[in-house]
């Protein structure tokens, strides 16, 4: 199974919703019994802090500088341009939820199933950045799906424990890479959530902000009004811009995202104010954040799996994109990406694969622009 191309969160339907905004938004489509079957059956136990030097151990990384063997981020789909020499950026990528069991609130690092699944996710989600430089993707005690299935404080506590691991990994990353090397930050779903906090806590107002090529906060709603000002970087509005933040949530039309909006409107932003009715960050990945819609011809390649899911190939000029007035990325009529489209035409699972080649080109171009400054 580990050799299969399962970046589509391909073992259970819960995989495709595990790291989304919060699974409760789909409770109209899911039975109370199904939700109950996914909640943890154990008492929450706070995770003991990892040793401060734990990420010096290469085994704590799915991918890191110089790693050639067993590195999921070096996988290349059929039809992708060949990268003779990677770019000079250092990329820090945070993977989404891969722990589905009810036995823990946070994934044990020795849980083989969730670790193998995370490797598979990285093949489809992190690989667009490999041409821009070496990818650092940490293993961490992620919050399991149960953290997204409860209103109890244990859910937030599990997410915070996971974030503490991310902070340790990022601090090691910064200490290790060359001090003048440009940095790309990226994540998806739960990984994007942690990235928003990382930007606020480690980037905003600090010298390292000048080294950021771009931050790809994909698959998690971010308020332009209440979150972005606290995250230290502006929104990307041009493909030539560097030191900025991109993000999107993908839907086919007709897009039904009412429940996400309801939940979003009930939350509080990083500045302590309500996110209610504030604009959601939406970057069109086909034009780098410029205004306007992009036709299918602008899509350099959508990553689609083969029928047996053993590989994948890039299909160009298939999927258009435009940001709507609510801040969601619309891709036109539903496109066949596989069986894991969520209710309401939600293509959360495919946020990166839909635009794989454009994300690759975007990261490369911004890195070149950064180095030319």
Structure tokens at 298: 């602008």
- Lowest model confidence (mean pLDDT) among 33-42, 46-55, 177-186, 254-263: 33-42
Phi, psi of 151 (to 5 degrees): -95, 0
The pLDDT of residue 11 is above 70: no
By CB atoms closer than 10 A (0-12, 13-18, 19+), residue 263 is: middle
Where residue 306 falls among pLDDT bands split at 50, 70, 90?
Answer: low
**Which pLDDT tens digit goes with each residue over 197-223?**
999 999 999 999 999 999 999 999 999
Q: Residues 216-257: pLDDT tens digits?
A: 999 999 999 999 999 999 999 999 999 999 999 999 999 999
Cα–Cα distance measured from residue 18 to residue 339, given in angstroms and rounded to the nearest whole number: 16
Taking 60 as the threshold, does the pLDDT of residue 1 lie above it?
no
Q: What are phi and psi of 128, to 5 degrees?
A: -60, -20
Best-predicted range by mean pLDDT among 3-7, 27-31, 190-194? 190-194
pLDDT at 56 over 50: yes
Q: Is the pLDDT of residue 280 over 60?
A: yes
Per residue in 323-339, pLDDT (tens digit) is: 999 999 999 999 998 87
Burial of 175 (0-12, 13-18, 19+ CB in 10 A): exposed
353-367 pLDDT, tens per residue?
Answer: 999 999 999 999 999
Q: Taking 80 as the threshold, does the pLDDT of residue 48 lie above it? A: yes
pLDDT at 272 over 70: yes
pLDDT digits (tens, 9 = 90+) for 132-176: 999 999 999 998 887 876 777 888 899 999 999 999 999 999 999
Q: Quick one: which H or E segment has residue 187?
A: strand 183-188
Q: How far apart are CA 16 and CA 369, in angstroms?
A: 35
Which residues, at least 6 apart from 24, have a Cβ–Cβ distance to it below 8 Å? 148, 149, 151, 263
Confidence of residue 315 (pLDDT cuts 50, 70, 90): very high
pLDDT of residue 35: 52
pLDDT at 192 over 70: yes
Looking at per-residue pLDDT, the higher value among 108 and 16 belongs to: 108
Are 142 and 98 in contact by the 8 Å Cβ rule? The answer is yes
């Amino acid at each position: 199974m580990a050799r299969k191309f399962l970046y589509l969160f391909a073992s259970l339907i819960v995989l495709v919703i595990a790291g989304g905004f919060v699974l409760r938004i789909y409770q109209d489509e899911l039975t109370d019994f199904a939700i109950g079957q996914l909640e943890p059956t154990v008492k929450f136990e706070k995770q003991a802090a990892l040793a401060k030097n734990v990420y010096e151990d290469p085994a704590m990384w799915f991918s890191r500088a110089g790693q050639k063997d067993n590195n999921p981020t070096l996988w290349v789909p059929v039809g992708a341009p060949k990268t003779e020499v990677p770019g000079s950026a250092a990329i820090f990528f945070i993977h989404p939820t891969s722990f589905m069991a009810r036995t823990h609130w946070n994934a044990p690092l020795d849980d083989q199933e969730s670790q193998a699944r995370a490797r598979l996710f990285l093949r489809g989600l992190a690989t667009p950045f490999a041409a821009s430089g070496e990818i650092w993707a940490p293993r961490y005690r992620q919050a399991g799906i149960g953290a997204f299935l409860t209103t109890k404080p244990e859910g937030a506590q599990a997410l915070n424990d996971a974030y503490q691991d991310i902070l340790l990994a990022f601090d090691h990353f910064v200490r290790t890479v060359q001090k003048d090397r440009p940095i790309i930050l990226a994540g998806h779903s739960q990984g994007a959530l942690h990235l928003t906090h990382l930007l606020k806590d480690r980037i905003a107002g600090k010298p390292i902000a000048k080294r950021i090529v771009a931050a790809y906060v994909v698959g998690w709603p971010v308020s332009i009004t209440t979150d972005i000002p606290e995250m230290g970087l502006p929104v990307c509005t041009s493909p030539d811009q560097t030191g900025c933040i991109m993000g999107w949530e993908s839907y086919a039309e007709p897009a039904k995202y009412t429940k996400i909006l309801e939940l979003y409107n009930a939350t509080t932003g990083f500045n302590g104010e309500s996110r209610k009715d504030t604009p959601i960050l939406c970057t069109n990945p086909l034009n780098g954040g410029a205004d306007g819609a992009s036709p299918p011809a602008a899509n350099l390649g959508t990553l689609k799996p083969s029928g047996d899911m053993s590989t994948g190939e890039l299909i160009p000029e298939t999927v258009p994109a435009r940001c709507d007035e609510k801040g969601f990325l619309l891709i036109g009529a539903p496109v066949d990406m596989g069986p894991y489209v969520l209710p309401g035409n939600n293509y959360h699972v495919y946020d990166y694969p839909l635009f794989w080649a454009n994300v690759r080109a975007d990261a490369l171009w911004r890195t070149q622009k950064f180095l030319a400054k």
